[in-house]
Structure 1
Amino acid sequence: MRVTLEGLDFGYRGRKKVLNDLNWTLEPGVTGLLGPNGAGKTTLLSLIVTLLPVRGGHLFIGEHDLSTTVGRSRARRTLGFVPQRFSLAGELTVADTVAYAAWVHGLDRRECGPAALRALESVDLSALADRRTRTLSGGQRQRVGIAAALAHDPRVLVLDEPTAGLDPGQRLRVREVVAGLGEDRTVLVSTHLIEDVAHLCSRVGVLAGGRIEFHGTFPELEALIEDSTEGSPYGSEFERAYDRLIERVGESP
Protein backbone atom coordinates (compact mmCIF):
# COMPACT_ATOMS: atom_id res chain seq x y z
CA MET A 1 0.00 0.00 0.00
CA ARG A 2 1.38 3.39 -0.98
CA VAL A 3 1.80 6.29 1.48
CA THR A 4 1.69 9.72 -0.16
CA LEU A 5 2.56 13.07 1.40
CA GLU A 6 1.61 16.17 -0.58
CA GLY A 7 2.57 19.64 0.63
CA LEU A 8 2.42 18.46 4.23
CA ASP A 9 2.73 21.24 6.83
CA PHE A 10 2.68 20.97 10.59
CA GLY A 11 3.54 23.28 13.46
CA TYR A 12 2.89 23.28 17.19
CA ARG A 13 1.19 26.32 18.67
CA GLY A 14 3.57 29.12 19.46
CA ARG A 15 6.43 27.53 17.51
CA LYS A 16 7.65 27.68 13.95
CA LYS A 17 6.66 24.96 11.53
CA VAL A 18 8.18 21.56 12.12
CA LEU A 19 7.23 20.27 8.66
CA ASN A 20 7.10 22.62 5.70
CA ASP A 21 5.63 21.72 2.29
CA LEU A 22 6.85 18.13 2.63
CA ASN A 23 6.38 15.85 -0.38
CA TRP A 24 7.24 12.15 -0.32
CA THR A 25 5.89 8.82 -1.55
CA LEU A 26 6.52 5.50 0.19
CA GLU A 27 6.20 2.35 -1.90
CA PRO A 28 5.94 -1.27 -0.68
CA GLY A 29 9.21 -2.52 0.77
CA VAL A 30 11.39 -1.19 3.58
CA THR A 31 12.22 2.53 3.55
CA GLY A 32 14.53 4.21 6.05
CA LEU A 33 13.95 7.65 7.54
CA LEU A 34 17.04 9.56 8.66
CA GLY A 35 17.48 13.06 10.00
CA PRO A 36 19.27 15.05 12.69
CA ASN A 37 17.79 15.53 16.14
CA GLY A 38 14.93 17.99 16.02
CA ALA A 39 14.30 17.45 12.32
CA GLY A 40 10.68 16.44 12.90
CA LYS A 41 10.91 12.66 12.49
CA THR A 42 8.70 11.96 15.51
CA THR A 43 6.13 14.49 14.31
CA LEU A 44 6.10 12.94 10.85
CA LEU A 45 5.60 9.44 12.24
CA SER A 46 2.82 10.70 14.51
CA LEU A 47 1.01 12.17 11.51
CA ILE A 48 1.35 8.98 9.48
CA VAL A 49 -0.03 6.77 12.28
CA THR A 50 -2.84 9.29 13.01
CA LEU A 51 -1.64 10.30 16.50
CA LEU A 52 -1.64 13.90 15.23
CA PRO A 53 -4.21 15.45 12.86
CA VAL A 54 -3.18 16.65 9.42
CA ARG A 55 -3.67 20.43 9.43
CA GLY A 56 -1.98 21.47 6.20
CA GLY A 57 -1.51 19.63 2.94
CA HIS A 58 -2.50 16.02 2.42
CA LEU A 59 -1.39 12.62 3.65
CA PHE A 60 -2.82 9.50 2.05
CA ILE A 61 -2.61 5.91 3.28
CA GLY A 62 -3.67 4.14 0.13
CA GLU A 63 -6.85 6.00 -0.81
CA HIS A 64 -7.56 7.21 2.74
CA ASP A 65 -7.10 10.97 3.16
CA LEU A 66 -5.79 11.60 6.69
CA SER A 67 -6.82 15.24 6.54
CA THR A 68 -10.40 14.01 7.14
CA THR A 69 -11.86 12.33 10.23
CA VAL A 70 -13.31 9.49 8.16
CA GLY A 71 -10.01 8.97 6.37
CA ARG A 72 -8.07 8.73 9.63
CA SER A 73 -10.56 6.26 11.07
CA ARG A 74 -10.42 3.97 8.06
CA ALA A 75 -6.65 4.25 7.71
CA ARG A 76 -6.09 2.98 11.26
CA ARG A 77 -7.25 -0.48 10.18
CA THR A 78 -4.36 -0.64 7.73
CA LEU A 79 -1.66 0.71 10.08
CA GLY A 80 0.71 -0.95 12.54
CA PHE A 81 3.02 1.09 14.78
CA VAL A 82 5.86 0.20 17.14
CA PRO A 83 6.97 3.30 19.10
CA GLN A 84 10.51 3.68 20.37
CA ARG A 85 9.36 3.08 23.94
CA PHE A 86 6.53 0.75 24.87
CA SER A 87 5.65 -1.36 27.88
CA LEU A 88 4.45 -4.95 28.19
CA ALA A 89 2.31 -6.38 30.99
CA GLY A 90 4.84 -8.64 32.65
CA GLU A 91 2.33 -11.22 33.92
CA LEU A 92 0.75 -11.80 30.52
CA THR A 93 2.05 -14.48 28.22
CA VAL A 94 3.54 -13.53 24.89
CA ALA A 95 0.54 -15.01 23.05
CA ASP A 96 -2.00 -13.21 25.24
CA THR A 97 -0.14 -9.91 24.79
CA VAL A 98 -0.32 -10.15 21.01
CA ALA A 99 -3.92 -11.46 21.06
CA TYR A 100 -4.94 -8.46 23.15
CA ALA A 101 -3.34 -6.12 20.59
CA ALA A 102 -5.34 -7.85 17.86
CA TRP A 103 -8.55 -7.27 19.83
CA VAL A 104 -7.68 -3.59 20.41
CA HIS A 105 -7.25 -3.22 16.64
CA GLY A 106 -10.77 -4.49 16.02
CA LEU A 107 -10.46 -8.22 15.39
CA ASP A 108 -13.29 -10.43 16.61
CA ARG A 109 -12.43 -12.09 19.92
CA ARG A 110 -12.52 -15.55 18.30
CA GLU A 111 -9.98 -14.48 15.69
CA CYS A 112 -7.46 -12.97 18.12
CA GLY A 113 -5.78 -16.20 19.24
CA PRO A 114 -5.08 -17.50 15.72
CA ALA A 115 -4.01 -14.00 14.62
CA ALA A 116 -1.55 -13.81 17.52
CA LEU A 117 0.02 -17.15 16.62
CA ARG A 118 0.43 -16.06 12.99
CA ALA A 119 2.05 -12.79 14.06
CA LEU A 120 4.42 -14.59 16.44
CA GLU A 121 5.41 -16.98 13.67
CA SER A 122 6.24 -14.02 11.42
CA VAL A 123 8.73 -12.70 14.02
CA ASP A 124 10.09 -16.17 14.87
CA LEU A 125 8.71 -16.26 18.42
CA SER A 126 6.25 -19.15 18.21
CA ALA A 127 8.34 -21.17 20.66
CA LEU A 128 7.91 -18.47 23.32
CA ALA A 129 4.13 -18.09 23.03
CA ASP A 130 3.51 -19.34 26.59
CA ARG A 131 6.34 -17.40 28.25
CA ARG A 132 5.61 -14.44 30.53
CA THR A 133 6.76 -11.23 28.90
CA ARG A 134 8.75 -10.25 32.02
CA THR A 135 11.17 -13.11 31.29
CA LEU A 136 12.10 -11.90 27.80
CA SER A 137 15.34 -10.36 26.62
CA GLY A 138 15.42 -6.91 25.04
CA GLY A 139 15.47 -8.28 21.51
CA GLN A 140 12.61 -10.68 22.24
CA ARG A 141 10.54 -7.85 23.73
CA GLN A 142 11.14 -5.79 20.61
CA ARG A 143 9.93 -8.65 18.42
CA VAL A 144 6.83 -9.06 20.63
CA GLY A 145 6.13 -5.37 20.03
CA ILE A 146 6.40 -5.92 16.29
CA ALA A 147 4.13 -8.97 16.51
CA ALA A 148 1.55 -6.91 18.40
CA ALA A 149 1.62 -4.30 15.63
CA LEU A 150 1.21 -7.05 13.02
CA ALA A 151 -1.62 -8.98 14.67
CA HIS A 152 -4.37 -7.27 12.67
CA ASP A 153 -2.37 -7.73 9.43
CA PRO A 154 -1.73 -4.07 8.53
CA ARG A 155 -0.54 -3.11 5.07
CA VAL A 156 1.63 -0.28 6.45
CA LEU A 157 4.04 -0.78 9.36
CA VAL A 158 5.88 2.10 11.06
CA LEU A 159 8.84 1.38 13.35
CA ASP A 160 10.50 4.06 15.48
CA GLU A 161 14.10 3.17 16.42
CA PRO A 162 13.41 -0.60 16.40
CA THR A 163 16.97 -1.61 17.36
CA ALA A 164 17.82 1.15 19.84
CA GLY A 165 19.43 -0.21 22.99
CA LEU A 166 19.90 -3.73 21.65
CA ASP A 167 23.18 -5.62 21.54
CA PRO A 168 24.65 -6.61 18.15
CA GLY A 169 23.08 -10.08 18.13
CA GLN A 170 19.65 -8.73 19.06
CA ARG A 171 19.88 -6.04 16.38
CA LEU A 172 20.68 -8.72 13.81
CA ARG A 173 17.56 -10.74 14.69
CA VAL A 174 15.29 -7.69 14.60
CA ARG A 175 16.74 -6.65 11.24
CA GLU A 176 16.08 -10.11 9.83
CA VAL A 177 12.48 -9.91 10.97
CA VAL A 178 11.90 -6.42 9.56
CA ALA A 179 13.49 -7.30 6.21
CA GLY A 180 11.06 -10.18 5.82
CA LEU A 181 8.06 -8.00 6.66
CA GLY A 182 8.89 -5.65 3.80
CA GLU A 183 8.29 -8.38 1.24
CA ASP A 184 4.52 -7.88 1.26
CA ARG A 185 3.84 -4.52 2.94
CA THR A 186 5.08 -0.95 3.20
CA VAL A 187 7.50 -0.58 6.12
CA LEU A 188 8.94 2.75 7.33
CA VAL A 189 11.89 2.54 9.74
CA SER A 190 12.95 5.72 11.54
CA THR A 191 16.41 5.36 13.06
CA HIS A 192 19.61 7.12 14.01
CA LEU A 193 21.62 4.00 13.18
CA ILE A 194 22.83 4.28 9.61
CA GLU A 195 23.92 0.65 9.87
CA ASP A 196 20.25 -0.34 10.24
CA VAL A 197 19.33 1.55 7.09
CA ALA A 198 22.27 0.09 5.18
CA HIS A 199 21.27 -3.48 6.02
CA LEU A 200 17.49 -3.12 5.89
CA CYS A 201 16.29 -0.53 3.45
CA SER A 202 16.07 -0.50 -0.32
CA ARG A 203 15.37 3.24 -0.20
CA VAL A 204 16.00 6.08 2.23
CA GLY A 205 14.57 9.50 2.93
CA VAL A 206 16.44 12.24 4.77
CA LEU A 207 14.35 14.76 6.71
CA ALA A 208 16.00 18.12 7.36
CA GLY A 209 14.75 21.67 7.57
CA GLY A 210 11.14 20.48 7.63
CA ARG A 211 11.38 18.78 4.23
CA ILE A 212 12.50 15.52 2.71
CA GLU A 213 15.78 16.79 1.29
CA PHE A 214 16.70 13.46 -0.28
CA HIS A 215 14.90 10.29 -1.24
CA GLY A 216 16.46 7.49 -3.19
CA THR A 217 18.95 4.65 -2.88
CA PHE A 218 22.30 4.44 -1.07
CA PRO A 219 24.35 4.83 -4.27
CA GLU A 220 22.28 7.89 -5.19
CA LEU A 221 22.99 9.46 -1.80
CA GLU A 222 26.68 8.59 -1.99
CA ALA A 223 26.83 10.35 -5.35
CA LEU A 224 26.14 13.65 -3.56
CA ILE A 225 29.67 13.67 -2.14
CA GLU A 226 31.82 16.20 -3.92
CA ASP A 227 34.95 14.77 -5.50
CA SER A 228 37.05 17.19 -3.48
CA THR A 229 35.62 16.03 -0.15
CA GLU A 230 38.22 14.22 1.91
CA GLY A 231 36.95 11.04 3.51
CA SER A 232 37.24 10.29 7.20
CA PRO A 233 38.74 6.90 8.06
CA TYR A 234 36.06 6.55 10.74
CA GLY A 235 32.99 6.63 8.51
CA SER A 236 31.50 4.90 5.50
CA GLU A 237 30.80 6.53 2.13
CA PHE A 238 27.11 6.51 3.02
CA GLU A 239 27.75 8.28 6.35
CA ARG A 240 29.91 10.90 4.63
CA ALA A 241 27.21 11.56 2.06
CA TYR A 242 24.53 11.87 4.72
CA ASP A 243 26.68 14.25 6.78
CA ARG A 244 27.43 16.39 3.71
CA LEU A 245 23.74 16.59 2.85
CA ILE A 246 22.85 17.80 6.36
CA GLU A 247 25.64 20.38 6.15
CA ARG A 248 24.30 21.68 2.84
CA VAL A 249 20.81 22.04 4.23
CA GLY A 250 22.21 23.97 7.21
CA GLU A 251 24.11 26.27 4.87
CA SER A 252 21.01 27.08 2.83
CA PRO A 253 19.48 30.53 3.44
Structure 2
Amino acid sequence: MVLADMCKVYRRAFTLGPISLTVVEGVTCLVGPNGAGKSTLFRLAAGVDRPTSGSVRLETDGGQGLGYLPQEPQLPGPATCEEFLHYVAWLQRVPRQRRFEAVELALDQVRLSDRRSSRIRELSGGMRRRLGIAHALVHDPALVLLDEPTVGLDPRQRIGLRQTIGQVGRNRIVLVATHLVEDVRGLADRVIVLNEGAVVYDGDVPGLERLAEPDAAGDTDLERAIAGLMGDSA
Protein backbone atom coordinates (compact mmCIF):
# COMPACT_ATOMS: atom_id res chain seq x y z
CA MET A 1 0.00 0.00 0.00
CA VAL A 2 1.46 3.32 -1.09
CA LEU A 3 0.41 6.68 0.34
CA ALA A 4 1.81 9.47 -1.82
CA ASP A 5 1.55 12.98 -0.34
CA MET A 6 -1.89 11.95 0.92
CA CYS A 7 -3.86 14.63 2.72
CA LYS A 8 -7.40 14.74 4.06
CA VAL A 9 -8.95 18.03 5.19
CA TYR A 10 -12.23 18.23 7.10
CA ARG A 11 -13.60 21.77 6.76
CA ARG A 12 -10.35 23.13 8.18
CA ALA A 13 -11.20 21.60 11.55
CA PHE A 14 -8.82 18.67 11.14
CA THR A 15 -6.14 17.77 8.64
CA LEU A 16 -4.47 14.39 8.22
CA GLY A 17 -1.17 14.61 6.41
CA PRO A 18 0.35 15.12 4.04
CA ILE A 19 1.65 11.56 4.50
CA SER A 20 3.94 9.55 2.24
CA LEU A 21 4.37 5.90 3.27
CA THR A 22 4.84 2.49 1.73
CA VAL A 23 3.29 -0.26 3.88
CA VAL A 24 4.57 -3.74 3.04
CA GLU A 25 3.73 -7.29 4.10
CA GLY A 26 3.79 -7.89 7.83
CA VAL A 27 1.96 -6.36 10.78
CA THR A 28 2.02 -2.57 11.08
CA CYS A 29 0.53 -1.11 14.27
CA LEU A 30 -1.08 2.31 14.01
CA VAL A 31 -0.94 4.11 17.36
CA GLY A 32 -2.16 7.50 18.50
CA PRO A 33 -4.51 9.31 20.86
CA ASN A 34 -8.18 9.80 20.08
CA GLY A 35 -8.47 12.36 17.32
CA ALA A 36 -5.00 11.70 15.94
CA GLY A 37 -6.33 10.48 12.58
CA LYS A 38 -6.25 6.67 12.91
CA SER A 39 -9.88 6.21 11.87
CA THR A 40 -9.43 8.67 9.02
CA LEU A 41 -6.41 6.76 7.75
CA PHE A 42 -8.39 3.50 7.96
CA ARG A 43 -11.25 4.99 5.93
CA LEU A 44 -8.83 6.25 3.29
CA ALA A 45 -7.03 2.90 3.13
CA ALA A 46 -10.38 1.11 2.76
CA GLY A 47 -11.52 3.45 -0.01
CA VAL A 48 -14.51 4.64 2.04
CA ASP A 49 -13.21 8.22 1.85
CA ARG A 50 -11.10 9.87 -0.82
CA PRO A 51 -8.09 12.03 0.01
CA THR A 52 -8.34 15.77 -0.48
CA SER A 53 -5.01 15.58 -2.29
CA GLY A 54 -2.40 12.96 -3.02
CA SER A 55 -3.26 9.29 -3.41
CA VAL A 56 -3.65 5.89 -1.72
CA ARG A 57 -2.82 2.86 -3.86
CA LEU A 58 -2.84 -0.84 -3.14
CA GLU A 59 0.06 -2.25 -5.14
CA THR A 60 0.44 -6.03 -4.81
CA ASP A 61 0.90 -9.01 -7.08
CA GLY A 62 -1.98 -11.01 -5.55
CA GLY A 63 -4.96 -10.84 -3.25
CA GLN A 64 -8.48 -9.58 -3.76
CA GLY A 65 -8.50 -6.04 -2.42
CA LEU A 66 -9.01 -5.66 1.31
CA GLY A 67 -10.57 -7.25 4.37
CA TYR A 68 -11.82 -5.22 7.32
CA LEU A 69 -12.61 -6.09 10.93
CA PRO A 70 -14.31 -3.21 12.76
CA GLN A 71 -13.90 -2.75 16.50
CA GLU A 72 -17.46 -4.01 17.12
CA PRO A 73 -18.24 -6.57 14.40
CA GLN A 74 -21.87 -7.58 14.03
CA LEU A 75 -21.93 -11.38 13.73
CA PRO A 76 -25.16 -13.40 13.23
CA GLY A 77 -25.53 -15.44 16.43
CA PRO A 78 -27.82 -18.20 15.07
CA ALA A 79 -25.52 -19.02 12.12
CA THR A 80 -22.71 -21.54 12.33
CA CYS A 81 -19.16 -20.39 11.66
CA GLU A 82 -19.17 -22.27 8.37
CA GLU A 83 -22.51 -20.87 7.22
CA PHE A 84 -21.44 -17.32 8.01
CA LEU A 85 -18.17 -17.61 6.12
CA HIS A 86 -19.85 -19.18 3.08
CA TYR A 87 -22.21 -16.20 3.03
CA VAL A 88 -19.31 -13.74 3.28
CA ALA A 89 -17.43 -15.58 0.52
CA TRP A 90 -20.53 -15.25 -1.68
CA LEU A 91 -20.77 -11.53 -0.89
CA GLN A 92 -17.09 -11.13 -1.76
CA ARG A 93 -17.68 -12.89 -5.11
CA VAL A 94 -15.45 -15.84 -4.41
CA PRO A 95 -16.24 -18.25 -7.30
CA ARG A 96 -18.62 -21.07 -6.34
CA GLN A 97 -16.03 -23.75 -7.08
CA ARG A 98 -13.56 -22.12 -4.68
CA ARG A 99 -15.84 -21.24 -1.78
CA PHE A 100 -15.53 -24.47 0.19
CA GLU A 101 -11.73 -24.34 -0.01
CA ALA A 102 -11.71 -20.62 0.88
CA VAL A 103 -13.87 -21.19 3.97
CA GLU A 104 -11.77 -24.16 5.10
CA LEU A 105 -8.56 -22.14 4.71
CA ALA A 106 -9.96 -19.14 6.60
CA LEU A 107 -11.12 -21.36 9.49
CA ASP A 108 -7.72 -23.05 9.60
CA GLN A 109 -5.85 -19.75 9.61
CA VAL A 110 -7.68 -18.60 12.75
CA ARG A 111 -7.67 -22.04 14.41
CA LEU A 112 -11.44 -22.54 14.31
CA SER A 113 -11.64 -25.62 12.09
CA ASP A 114 -12.96 -27.68 14.99
CA ARG A 115 -15.75 -25.13 15.59
CA ARG A 116 -17.03 -24.94 12.01
CA SER A 117 -20.44 -26.33 13.05
CA SER A 118 -20.73 -24.26 16.24
CA ARG A 119 -23.27 -21.47 16.34
CA ILE A 120 -21.65 -18.07 16.68
CA ARG A 121 -23.62 -17.27 19.84
CA GLU A 122 -21.93 -20.27 21.52
CA LEU A 123 -18.40 -18.93 20.91
CA SER A 124 -16.24 -17.17 23.50
CA GLY A 125 -15.23 -13.55 22.98
CA GLY A 126 -11.82 -14.58 21.70
CA MET A 127 -13.31 -17.07 19.26
CA ARG A 128 -15.73 -14.46 17.92
CA ARG A 129 -12.82 -12.10 17.29
CA ARG A 130 -10.97 -14.88 15.48
CA LEU A 131 -14.07 -15.55 13.39
CA GLY A 132 -14.16 -11.83 12.59
CA ILE A 133 -10.62 -12.11 11.26
CA ALA A 134 -11.65 -15.17 9.21
CA HIS A 135 -14.46 -13.02 7.77
CA ALA A 136 -11.81 -10.50 6.72
CA LEU A 137 -9.61 -13.22 5.17
CA VAL A 138 -12.01 -15.53 3.37
CA HIS A 139 -11.62 -13.79 -0.02
CA ASP A 140 -7.80 -13.76 0.27
CA PRO A 141 -7.29 -9.98 0.47
CA ALA A 142 -3.92 -8.34 -0.01
CA LEU A 143 -4.64 -5.80 2.75
CA VAL A 144 -6.30 -6.53 6.11
CA LEU A 145 -7.47 -3.69 8.38
CA LEU A 146 -8.08 -4.56 12.04
CA ASP A 147 -9.54 -1.87 14.30
CA GLU A 148 -8.73 -2.48 17.99
CA PRO A 149 -8.97 -6.28 17.57
CA THR A 150 -8.07 -7.22 21.17
CA VAL A 151 -10.16 -4.67 23.09
CA GLY A 152 -12.37 -6.30 25.71
CA LEU A 153 -10.57 -9.64 25.72
CA ASP A 154 -8.96 -11.22 28.75
CA PRO A 155 -5.13 -11.64 28.79
CA ARG A 156 -5.20 -15.24 27.55
CA GLN A 157 -7.57 -14.37 24.70
CA ARG A 158 -5.42 -11.39 23.72
CA ILE A 159 -2.31 -13.58 23.54
CA GLY A 160 -4.10 -16.12 21.34
CA LEU A 161 -5.47 -13.45 19.03
CA ARG A 162 -2.08 -11.79 18.68
CA GLN A 163 -0.63 -15.14 17.62
CA THR A 164 -3.34 -15.44 14.98
CA ILE A 165 -2.73 -11.92 13.66
CA GLY A 166 1.02 -12.56 13.52
CA GLN A 167 0.46 -15.65 11.38
CA VAL A 168 -1.92 -13.77 9.08
CA GLY A 169 0.69 -11.05 8.56
CA ARG A 170 3.29 -13.44 7.18
CA ASN A 171 2.01 -13.17 3.61
CA ARG A 172 -0.14 -10.05 3.46
CA ILE A 173 -0.29 -6.44 4.62
CA VAL A 174 -1.97 -6.16 8.03
CA LEU A 175 -2.69 -2.73 9.51
CA VAL A 176 -3.78 -2.79 13.17
CA ALA A 177 -5.14 0.26 15.00
CA THR A 178 -4.60 -0.14 18.74
CA HIS A 179 -4.37 1.75 22.03
CA LEU A 180 -2.75 -1.18 23.86
CA VAL A 181 1.00 -1.07 24.36
CA GLU A 182 1.13 -4.84 24.83
CA ASP A 183 -0.37 -5.25 21.34
CA VAL A 184 2.39 -3.10 19.90
CA ARG A 185 5.09 -5.14 21.62
CA GLY A 186 3.45 -8.48 20.79
CA LEU A 187 2.42 -7.77 17.21
CA ALA A 188 4.29 -5.04 15.42
CA ASP A 189 6.89 -5.54 12.74
CA ARG A 190 6.51 -1.79 12.26
CA VAL A 191 4.95 1.00 14.32
CA ILE A 192 3.44 4.22 12.98
CA VAL A 193 2.57 6.80 15.63
CA LEU A 194 0.12 9.54 14.68
CA ASN A 195 -0.44 12.75 16.60
CA GLU A 196 -2.62 15.65 15.50
CA GLY A 197 -2.81 14.31 11.95
CA ALA A 198 0.93 13.87 11.44
CA VAL A 199 3.26 10.88 11.51
CA VAL A 200 5.57 11.46 14.47
CA TYR A 201 7.27 8.04 14.37
CA ASP A 202 7.71 5.32 11.75
CA GLY A 203 9.97 2.40 12.61
CA ASP A 204 10.35 -0.73 14.70
CA VAL A 205 9.71 -1.31 18.40
CA PRO A 206 13.38 -1.15 19.56
CA GLY A 207 13.82 2.16 17.75
CA LEU A 208 10.68 3.49 19.40
CA GLU A 209 11.86 2.41 22.85
CA ARG A 210 15.08 4.37 22.36
CA LEU A 211 12.99 7.55 22.21
CA ALA A 212 11.69 7.06 25.76
CA GLU A 213 11.81 10.23 27.84
CA PRO A 214 12.47 9.78 31.58
CA ASP A 215 9.79 12.29 32.59
CA ALA A 216 7.09 10.91 30.27
CA ALA A 217 4.12 8.96 31.63
CA GLY A 218 4.44 5.19 31.69
CA ASP A 219 6.07 2.24 33.41
CA THR A 220 8.16 0.92 30.50
CA ASP A 221 10.36 2.47 27.83
CA LEU A 222 7.75 1.66 25.19
CA GLU A 223 4.97 3.37 27.16
CA ARG A 224 7.17 6.39 27.88
CA ALA A 225 8.22 6.68 24.23
CA ILE A 226 4.64 6.62 22.95
CA ALA A 227 3.50 9.04 25.68
CA GLY A 228 6.36 11.39 24.85
CA LEU A 229 5.49 11.44 21.16
CA MET A 230 1.90 12.22 22.06
CA GLY A 231 2.97 15.06 24.34
CA ASP A 232 1.94 13.35 27.58
CA SER A 233 4.14 14.02 30.59
CA ALA A 234 4.22 12.31 33.97
The two structures have a TM-score, normalised by structure 1, of: 0.86
**Which residue of the partner structure matches residue 239 of structure 1?**
223
1-structure distance, mates of 2:22, 2:13: 24
How much does 1:148 deviate? 0.8
1:30 aligned counterpart, secondary structure: strand
2-structure distance, mates of 1:231, 1:50: 36
Letter matched to residue 35 of structure 2? G
1:55 partnered with 2:46: no
How much does 1:223 deviate? 2.0
How much does 1:76 deviate? 9.2
How much does 1:231 deviate? 6.8
**Which residue of the partner structure matches residue 16 of structure 1?**
13
Asked if 2 retains the 8 angstrom alpha-carbon contact of 1:203 and 1:217, the reply is yes
Change (3 A) 1:230 1:9: closer
Structure 1: 5+ residue stretches without partners: 65-74
1-structure distance, mates of 2:3, 2:137: 23
**Which residue of the partner structure matches residue 208 of structure 1?**
195
Letter matched to residue 85 of structure 2? V
**Which residue of the partner structure matches residue 144 of structure 1?**
131
Equivalenced residue count is 233
**Which residue of the partner structure matches residue 177 of structure 1?**
164
Asked if 2 retains the 8 angstrom alpha-carbon contact of 1:99 and 1:148, the reply is no
Asked if 1 retains the 8 angstrom alpha-carbon contact of 2:120 and 2:128, the reply is yes
**Which residue of the partner structure matches residue 119 of structure 1?**
106
1:41 partnered with 2:49: no
Letter matched to residue 157 of structure 1? V
**Which residue of the partner structure matches residue 22 of structure 2?**
25
Letter matched to residue 39 of structure 1? A
Residue of structure 2 aligned with 1:164, choices 123, 140, 151:
151
Letter matched to residue 194 of structure 2? L
**Which residue of the partner structure matches residue 7 of structure 1?**
5
Change (3 A) 1:199 1:111: same
Change (3 A) 1:114 1:168: same
Asked if 2 retains the 8 angstrom alpha-carbon contact of 1:33 and 1:207, the reply is yes
Change (3 A) 1:94 1:218: same
Residue of structure 2 aligned with 1:96, choices 74, 83, 91:
83
Residue of structure 1 aligned with 2:72, choices 85, 93, 96:
85
How much does 1:63 deviate? 6.5
2-structure distance, mates of 1:54, 1:119: 32
Change (3 A) 1:148 1:193: same
How much does 1:16 deviate? 2.0
How much does 1:21 deviate? 0.7
Letter matched to residue 177 of structure 2? S
How much does 1:168 deviate? 0.8
Structure 2: 5+ residue stretches without partners: none
1-structure distance, mates of 2:68, 2:189: 20
The two structures have a TM-score, normalised by structure 2, of: 0.93
Asked if 2 retains the 8 angstrom alpha-carbon contact of 1:49 and 1:76, the reply is no
Deviations 1:116-171 (A, max 9, x none): 11100000000000011111111110000100110011111111000011111111
Asked if 1 retains the 8 angstrom alpha-carbon contact of 2:105 and 2:138, the reply is yes
2-structure distance, mates of 1:61, 1:21: 18
2-structure distance, mates of 1:171, 1:243: 22
1:20 aligned counterpart, secondary structure: strand
How much does 1:225 deviate? 3.1
1-structure distance, mates of 2:54, 2:167: 32
Letter matched to residue 160 of structure 2? R
